[in-house]
Copies of this chain bind each other. A is one copy, B any other.
Amino acid sequence: MKAKIIITPKKAVLDPQGQTVERALAHMGYQGVGKVHVGKYLEIEVEGDKATLEKQLDEACHKFLSNPVIEDYKLEIVD
């Protein structure tokens, strides 16, 4: 099984990396491109009971993989 975790800055938080990509895309002439948000992606190979893993990884996300003050995360476990 694989756990996929997407960590993004909260909408209210300044995202300088996203702004830079946004400006670069506009500068390169790409049309129809709006706001850009840049986050992190984690793929973790896991083994065991899905419910237990979900609980454990959710705790890990909250405690040290993300910063809950400025970031949101989305955890998904797939076979």
- Are B30 and A56 in touch, CB under 8 angstroms? yes
- Are B34 and A45 in touch, CB under 8 angstroms? yes
Tally of this chain's copies = 2
Interface residues in A28-72 (C-beta closer than 8 Å to B):
28, 30-48, 53, 56-57, 60, 64-65
- Are B36 and A39 in touch, CB under 8 angstroms? no
- Are A36 and B44 in touch, CB under 8 angstroms? yes
Chain B residues closer than 8 Å to A64, beta-carbon distance: 24, 28
- Are A41 and B39 in touch, CB under 8 angstroms? yes
Chain B residues closer than 8 Å to A53, beta-carbon distance: 32
Chain A interface residues (CB < 8 Å from chain B):
6-8, 18, 21, 24-25, 28, 30-48, 53, 56-57, 60, 64-65
